[in-house]
Structure 1
């Protein structure tokens, strides 16, 4: 297995969970008991963002998951990472209230467990959730590529306890393999029906195994099935199915379809945009800033749609200038142009940067918030 470090994705997930990074001591810090044999831990939480989860910290530290970045193969596509995390948080909001639960990255599935589960099933690894390889003529693909765990805790004072868990299962849409060592690479396209069948089977097995843990016997466990994009795709994957096993149950009795799409603008070739009006707005924005500042290498946008409606627009602008006043002036132009052309009813994030680093960020985190501007190394 290979473990990837996704720093930008982690930052993106943090923005999703909370709009503010300020810490405040909870009652846990005052109520923590001490003993002669161990040092008492103190707990803090981040301030709650608008419609987001408060994040539980221990001794002032953000607790990361031991399985973050573990994958079954080297077929990983980094554009999937942020959406895998963000999408699972959004699914969880329908199950675990942001008012009565705090967020913590998963702590129950260990790296050793995840490595076994992501492997192929065999005599040596009976816990593998991917099928045996098969033969050269009848090759079985890797269906399950990655497992993500998120924990939702409830309580007060020193009595926070696990109240629910969400599991994201990233299912390959394309499996890449070699028939001989160092040989040619082949591709096996995996249909949505195959993803669904393999994902639901893996979900039930994982839930049954988690129920063996005493702390997890009586909590809901939510599972989201995520379709990974091809490794050369510029568009990230999306969740397509979710369901919850009630407390004391290892079965998900009802699965809910999720309608989500992503696209990159400008489109390539003759491909039509999902929404011509959104594409037209972006093109007007792009043309306006390129006319004003010709030294721009590229302007691209990633749009996310949920149930046919635009829910997020992220724009990346690559510049060829580095002067302080140039960056200041250009950022002000981007802000005014965004207000003029981009939709005002969805979150928007605009990153301005050179090839080597980010120079400025213009963003509004929610549909009804105002744009915020930060110039790196500036005012």
Structure 2
């Protein structure tokens, strides 16, 4: 059953454009995330106005229409109800990073996908059958030979070129979210079973699906002569604490419906502190996190938890996300603690890595401390205050 969710994705209670800025710049860049501070009117006519808004260093400029952020009609569609809460952001962020290898932020502007419609994507996500010959997921099979849902979600991102009143599509990126585990029931209301899907199977299925999707897109006049990039994303299990990651991508050149070469990617997430005897990917990173954690807990003992999610690409730490759960609500307490977190992060956490630190209670986000990889100083925002 296809599940549809709202197109408006609320991330830490920021406006949708600001949220897009966080994703497009690959880090929570507070100083550049405000539409009001960065919007620039580039052209206008009687019927429409184009605007662009910057999203920080090395990020894409976002194209607005009539002053509004344009959302994708297929946003939130998934093949099953077994989706987790941590894959979505990484699915989007990772595809933006892949796109930078093909569509330079210096030459292209970003817009959420507008060429795939809901009806088409719903058909693709459903199982193939006599009534749905376009289904990309296989027929159900039997109780003894169950065929899993391989494809869970499809993401489209558009990259445009131009200026003034003339913008045209210059390239498209498609993200295919492939299940690593499929959950199913043999009988209605019966026990839930699960089937693991190997990386080799994910890759083979994803590559075959990519060709079918590209061939479909080529039927559209505007898309016949542009490059189309496809990334293959491995979703994590529904109880995972960290998001999945892309493991391969490729680009079909103009006029082609085939990807001649697929590039492999090595992305790994780790949760700190490690549990169950797991070994840290990098002992220095783990030591720095533990020192940071100890320092803030010694100063403010009424902290419920400090958890770090670290992302490594080709063995190098490129992003460190830390969530701190507090048990205090007074403004002065939050302000004092946030300043402590800022100074402690600068002392113990990597200086050449993008870092996001979210401070909040169980019910609400109270403050955000963040920096990009190239920055030496952290930006701070206290909700309801600074």
- TM bucket (normalised to shorter chain) is over 0.9
Aligned to 2:297, which of 290, 293, 296?
Answer: 290
Shift in Å, 1:157: 1.8
2:33 corresponds in structure 1 to 20
2:10 corresponds in structure 1 to 7
Q: TM-score scaled by structure 2?
A: 0.94
Task: Output the CA distance in 2 between the equivalents of 1:330 and 1:369.
Answer: 20
Aligned to 2:59, which of 27, 32, 52?
Answer: 52
For structure 2, which runs of at least 5 residues remain unmatched after alignment? 26-31
CA deviation profile, 1:190-222 (whole Å, cap 9, x unmatched): 000000000000000000000000111011000
Task: Output the CA distance in 1 between the equivalents of 2:291 and 2:373.
Answer: 22
2:224 maps to 1:217: yes
Task: Output the CA distance in 1 between the equivalents of 2:89 and 2:39.
Answer: 26
| 1:317/1:351 contact within 8 Å kept | yes
CA deviation profile, 1:105-152 (whole Å, cap 9, x unmatched): 000001111100101111100110000011111110000000000000
2:249 corresponds in structure 1 to 242
CA deviation profile, 1:19-48 (whole Å, cap 9, x unmatched): 33334344322xx3x4xxxxx111100035
2:370 maps to 1:357: no
1:37 corresponds in structure 2 to none
Aligned to 1:107, which of 104, 114, 136?
Answer: 114
CA deviation profile, 1:335-362 (whole Å, cap 9, x unmatched): 1110110000001011111111111111
Task: Output the CA distance in 1 between the equivalents of 2:265 and 2:156.
Answer: 19
Shift in Å, 1:4: 2.5
| 1:23/1:44 contact within 8 Å kept | no
1:330 corresponds in structure 2 to 337
Task: Output the CA distance in 2 between the equivalents of 1:180 and 1:201.
Answer: 30
Shift in Å, 1:277: 1.0
2:147 maps to 1:134: no
For structure 1, which runs of at least 5 residues remain unmatched after alignment? 35-39
2:286 maps to 1:271: no
CA deviation profile, 1:74-124 (whole Å, cap 9, x unmatched): 110110010000000000001001011100000000111110010111110
Number of matched pairs: 371
Task: Output the CA distance in 2 between the equivalents of 1:348 and 1:190.
Answer: 32
Secondary structure in 1 matching 2:102: coil
What does 1:87-102 correspond to in 2, within 5 Å? 87-102=94-109
Task: Output the CA distance in 1 between the equivalents of 2:297 and 2:40.
Answer: 47
Task: Output the CA distance in 2 between the equivalents of 1:17 and 1:229.
Answer: 22
Report runs of 4+ in structure 1 exceeding 3 Å deviation: 9-13, 23-27
Q: TM-score scaled by structure 1?
A: 0.95
Secondary structure in 2 matching 1:2: coil
Shift in Å, 1:366: 3.0
| 2:52/2:64 contact within 8 Å kept | yes
Task: Output the CA distance in 1 between the equivalents of 2:116 and 2:213.
Answer: 10
1:227 corresponds in structure 2 to 234
2:158 corresponds in structure 1 to 151
Task: Output the CA distance in 2 between the equivalents of 1:373 and 1:48.
Answer: 17
| 1:12/1:82 contact within 8 Å kept | no
CA deviation profile, 1:167-205 (whole Å, cap 9, x unmatched): 000000000000000111000000000000000000000
Task: Output the CA distance in 2 between the equivalents of 1:193 and 1:4.
Answer: 30
Secondary structure in 1 matching 2:136: coil
Task: Output the CA distance in 2 between the equivalents of 1:46 and 1:354.
Answer: 32
Task: Output the CA distance in 1 between the equivalents of 2:376 and 2:215.
Answer: 42
2:214 corresponds in structure 1 to 207
| 1:13/1:82 contact within 8 Å kept | no
Aligned to 1:162, which of 169, 191, 204?
Answer: 169
